[in-house]
């Protein structure tokens, strides 16, 4: 018997001038006659978080039925096709009401220290606990993304609480908040190489140069070693990277042409939807190329005054969130909540359609989607919206609505999530136990 198969290491990258482009999973990364569990086909577990601001409308988020085969409530209707991968958990609670504390406590399970000075303190967040466990094999242990620039917010942003508590959802340690990257160009070049100043990036943009141009020769050499299926997979992946890059270039070209705003950051689209989807696509690309296995994404700041003209909502989100039972405001909040979920659905579709080992990225990952409050009018900490999506390589069943006992600490879920990734947690923040997922 003759075995004619060339092995490609999972850590292989395409290299060019200042660029290093990671590869998706290829069949050639499985050595011939080697057990699947000992090869790159062994599923890689990934963890993602998507934070949405100002809660979800009570009555429009939680399914009426507990258990399997529940009917999706209105806000979650855009995710119908992903129900087999969905686990909703109700009756989980944050420790305190309020913008700053509900954000800082969400992934840390801790009560933030009350201060508007620099001596902020909450707790390490679960994404960083998981990154410390599974992030050592990738270029970045974790990536932190957002769509709003928080760098100008300092001092007190909520009653007696520092802006630092609202400006990120990720804490490396109890006293170290992690900055969130908002610029798609900066993120793209962190992931694939060729960083530089804004002027250098603008120069490359004007020449319409692609990072992929510099790795073309290395890519051609690799393609010669691959079978037809792997060549098609590689071409599809590189086409997707190029498509993301071209969208960033179009945004940069539009921004650079506006003389009235010459200092506008290059790479940040004016359209929220375009910006949000670029960050989602870079999120997915980072997982596909195994650049990182842990990503947090803060869709908007919790006190965001963003308006949504694309869906006909012109009142600022935060102002609208204090609705006072005004029917029009409540209706618009449901519309905004559903809109955010629909964008998340596009991201999930990308994960579901991306092959990964013996399944898809969605099969082998788990994403937490939610907010630190429920009823925005009162900043309520009770029954906060909590959705898990993904199979985590068979560790999470899906198609379930789990109802925890009332006022179960959200930190209990963090214990369970950490342990799904082998973190061996007994206690996390103010946890009192676990949530069986």
- Tell me if residue 243 falls in helix, strand or coil: helix
Q: Are the CB atoms for 90 and 404 separated by under 8 Å? A: yes
> What is the per-residue pLDDT for 195?
52
- Tell me if residue 303 falls in helix, strand or coil: coil
Q: Is the pLDDT of residue 29 over 90?
A: no
Distance (Å, rounded) from C-alpha 164 to C-alpha 175? 10
Strand partners, 144: 296
Helix or strand run (H / E) with residue 21: strand 19-22
Q: What is the DSSP letter of 71?
A: P
> What is the per-residue pLDDT for 185?
87
Average pLDDT, the chain: 86
Q: pLDDT digit string (tens) for 90-129?
A: 999 999 888 888 999 999 999 999 998 889 999 999 999 9
Q: From start to end of 80-168, where are the E strands? A: 86-93, 143-146, 156-158, 161-162
Q: How confident is the model at residue 7 (pLDDT cuts 50, 70, 90)?
A: low
Q: Are the CB atoms for 130 and 421 separated by under 8 Å? A: yes
> What is the per-residue pLDDT for 356?
92
Phi and psi at residue 153, in whole multiples of 5°?
-95, 110
Between residues 209 and 198, the one the model is more confident about: 209
Q: HSE of 66 in the Cβ direction (CA atoms, 13 Å)?
A: 7
> What is the per-residue pLDDT for 392?
97
Task: Report the alpha-carbon angle 123-375-174, nearest 5.
Answer: 5
Q: Is the pLDDT of residue 255 over 70?
A: no
Q: Is the pLDDT of residue 328 over 50?
A: yes
> What is the per-residue pLDDT for 263?
40
Query: 294 burial class (0-12, 13-18, 19+ CB within 10 angstroms)?
Result: buried
Q: pLDDT digit string (tens) for 264-317?
A: 456 788 899 999 999 999 999 999 999 999 999 999 988 889 999 999 999 999
Q: How confident is the model at residue 202 (pLDDT cuts 50, 70, 90)?
A: low
What predicted TM-score, i.e. pTM, was given to this entire model? 0.84
Q: Are the CB atoms for 383 and 90 separated by under 8 Å? A: yes
Nearest Cα neighbor of 251 from 268, 229, 232 is 268
Q: Are the CB atoms for 289 and 22 separated by under 8 Å? A: yes
Q: What six digits make up the tokens of 267?
A: 């790479």
The crossing angle, in degrees rounded to 10, of helices 228-256 and 216-223 is: 160
Q: What percent of the chain has pLDDT over 90?
A: 62
Q: Are the CB atoms for 297 and 49 separated by under 8 Å? A: yes
């Amino acid at each position: 018997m003759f075995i004619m198969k060339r092995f490609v290491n999972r850590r292989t990258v395409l290299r060019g001038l200042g660029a290093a482009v990671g590869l998706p999973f290829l069949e050639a990364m499985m050595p011939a006659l080697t057990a699947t569990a000992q090869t790159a086909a062994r599923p890689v577990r990934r963890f993602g978080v998507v934070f949405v601001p100002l809660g979800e409308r009570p009555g429009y988020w939680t399914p009426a039925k507990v258990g399997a085969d529940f009917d999706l409530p209105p806000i979650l209707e855009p995710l119908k096709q992903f129900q087999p991968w969905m686990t909703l958990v109700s009756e989980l609670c944050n420790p305190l009401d309020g913008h700053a504390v509900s954000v800082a406590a969400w992934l840390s399970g801790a009560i933030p220290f009350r201060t508007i000075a620099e001596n902020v303190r909450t707790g390490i967040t679960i994404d960083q606990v998981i990154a410390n466990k599974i992030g050592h094999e990738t270029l970045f242990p974790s990536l932190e993304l957002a769509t709003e620039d928080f760098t100008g917010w300092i001092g007190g942003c909520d009653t007696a609480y520092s802006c630092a508590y609202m400006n990120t959802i990720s804490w490396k340690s109890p006293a170290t908040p992690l900055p969130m990257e908002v610029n798609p160009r900066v993120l793209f070049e962190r992931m694939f190489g060729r960083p530089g100043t804004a002027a250098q990036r603008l120069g490359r943009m004007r020449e319409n140069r692609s990072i992929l141009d510099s790795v073309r020769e290395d890519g051609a050499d690799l393609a010669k070693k691959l079978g037809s299926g792997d060549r098609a997979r590689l071409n599809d992946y590189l086409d997707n990277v190029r498509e993301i890059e071209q969208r960033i270039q179009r945004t940069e070209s539009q921004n650079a042409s506006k003389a009235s705003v010459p200092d506008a950051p290059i790479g940040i689209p004016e359209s929220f939807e375009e910006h949000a989807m670029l960050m989602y696509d870079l999120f997915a690309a980072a997982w596909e190329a195994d650049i990182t296995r842990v990503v947090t994404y803060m869709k908007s700041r919790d006190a965001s005054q963003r308006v949504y003209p694309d869906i006909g909502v012109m009142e600022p989100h935060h102002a609208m969130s204090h609705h006072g039972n005004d029917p029009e405001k409540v209706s618009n909040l449901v519309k905004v909540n559903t809109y955010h979920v629909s964008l998340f659905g596009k991201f999930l579709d990308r994960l579901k359609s991306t092959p990964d080992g013996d399944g898809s990225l969605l099969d082998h990952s788990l994403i937490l989607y939610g907010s630190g409050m429920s009823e925005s009018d009162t900043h309520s900490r009770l029954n906060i919206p909590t959705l898990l999506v993904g199979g985590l390589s068979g560790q999470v069943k899906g198609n379930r609505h789990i109802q925890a006992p009332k006022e179960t600490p959200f930190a209990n879920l963090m214990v369970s999530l950490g342990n799904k990734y082998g973190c061996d947690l007994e206690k996390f923040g103010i946890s009192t136990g676990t949530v069986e997922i």
